[in-house]
Amino acid sequence: MKKFSLNHGIGRVLIHIVFWISYIMFFFFQYQFMDKKVDPYDTLGSLTLTAFVDIAAAYFTVYFLLSRFLFKKKYLQFSIYFLLSAAAAILLQRVILYYISDPLFYADYKKETYSFWHINPFYSFFNIYTVVGFFASVKLLKYWYKNQQLKLELERKNKSSELALLRTQINPHFLFNTLNNIDTLIGTDAEKASDAVIKLSEIMRFVLYEANSDSISLEKEIDYLESYISLQRLRMRNQYFVSFENKSENCRGLTIAPMIFIPFVENAFKHGLKNIVAPGIEIFLDCKDGNINFEVTNRFSELDEQNKDKTKGIGIDNAKRRLELLYPDSHTLDITKHKGVFKVKLKISSVDKN
């Protein structure tokens, strides 16, 4: 059994029938109130006959002129056909009134004679095209709403595609840096290299099975950050060079887009290790009232900045764009660079909960 819908088939036809009956009855009661001498059946018969002109004009305008010309931006053709159809509707209404309606229903009431061409075209146009304008407004509103929905759907698909592309840019960038680290360790410390491979496998498990989700628990994101930091520490002489102050006791139950923090941490390791002065990298994370505060600070050599390579900033730009797409009105990102200190302050407000 097919599901009944008011927007299609029989339901739609019924709505139109009810509308036109209501339209005729509205004028019927109005005319009867104005002139009670006229027989109600005569009034109803005359209105029903002339309503066919209104109905024809409405459907011709809405389903032919609007769809065929206006929506396709053929404005000149629309104007020409609209004026011609309006003239035809006024003339047809006059024919019905003069040759059918008045002789049939008003012969006993209208004693004076009048010419067929005794027409007020402006009154006739207003009389017919008031209801046409209403019908056209409904059609235009539906057309606008449909276009808005299509536009939103297209934007959503484009957003999803862009986010997917940004995620694919994150993973190879991270993997490239990590493999370089392991390659360095293989020649200096095989045991650390083995530990690094284990850490890498844990991280890649996250990348493969969690990073493609729309959101993950904040705890998992923090675990990922800690694994990444541990992996970086394996090749560092000064284990205290990196500080991660994790105050995530109030973060339980919060969710976040995966790998949203890692580009800033990667950037700190990439550009902060060139100047080994503790504290080299400081990472801070805190939650309060459903808001996440994340900060990364690293020291860098201002001399090296003058010779920066073309890949510098790709991760940061990537993160900025993801934040714009995922948290357009609920994040603030402040990046400062002053006297050899690079600092990122990110706040994400009203974070969703599990």
Q: What is the dihedral of CA 20, 25, 26, 32, to 10 degrees?
A: 150
User: Three-state DSSP class for 283?
Assistant: strand
Q: What is the dihedral of CA 22, 25, 31, 34, to 10 degrees?
A: -90
Parallel, antiparallel or unpaired: strands 331-338 and 281-288: unpaired
Of the candidates 107, 12, 20, the one whose C-alpha atom is nearest the C-alpha of residue 57 is 20
pLDDT tens digit string along 136-191?
999 999 989 988 888 887 677 666 666 665 665 555 656 676 777 778 778 777 78
Report the distance separating Cα 242 and Cα 235, nearest Å. 12
Q: Which helix H or strand E contains 110, and what residues bound it?
A: none
Amino acid type, 163: L
Q: Where are the beta strands (DSSP E) in 182-256?
A: 216-217, 242-247, 255-256
Whole-number pLDDT of residue 331: 92
Of the candidates 280, 260, 281, the one whose C-alpha atom is nearest the C-alpha of residue 346 is 260
Boundaries of every domain in the chain? 9-119, 154-348
Whole-number pLDDT of residue 100: 80
Whole-number pLDDT of residue 36: 66
Instruction: Give the CA diameter of the chain.
Output: 117
Reading the chain (354 residues) residue by residue, the pLDDT tens digits are: 444 454 567 888 888 899 899 888 888 888 777 766 767 777 788 888 888 999 999 999 999 999 889 988 899 999 999 999 999 998 898 888 777 877 777 666 555 566 667 767 787 888 888 889 998 999 999 989 988 888 887 677 666 666 665 665 555 656 676 777 778 778 777 787 787 788 888 887 887 777 778 888 999 899 889 888 887 777 666 666 788 998 877 777 889 888 889 889 988 887 775 555 566 889 999 988 888 999 999 887 766 555 555 445 567 888 888 888 888 888 999 999 888 889 999 999 877 776
Whole-number pLDDT of residue 1: 42
Whole-number pLDDT of residue 311: 47
Report the distance separating Cα 262 and Cα 270, nearest Å. 12
Q: Which two tokens stand for residue 217?
A: 């628990």
CATH architecture for the domain at 154-348: 2-Layer Sandwich (3.30)
User: Three-state DSSP class for 301?
Assistant: coil
**How many CB atoms lie under 10 A from the CB of residue 32?**
15
Whole-number pLDDT of residue 313: 58
Report the distance separating Cα 143 and Cα 321, nearest Å. 32
Whole-number pLDDT of residue 195: 79
pTM score, whole prediction: 0.56
Report the distance separating Cα 188 and Cα 204, nearest Å. 24
Sign of the four-CA dihedral 26, 31, 32, 38: negative
Whole-number pLDDT of residue 204: 79
Burial category of 10 from C-beta neighbours within 10 Å (exposed 0-12, middle 13-18, buried 19 and up): exposed
Whole-number pLDDT of residue 4: 46
Of the candidates 105, 103, 100, 93, the one whose C-alpha atom is nearest the C-alpha of residue 129 is 93
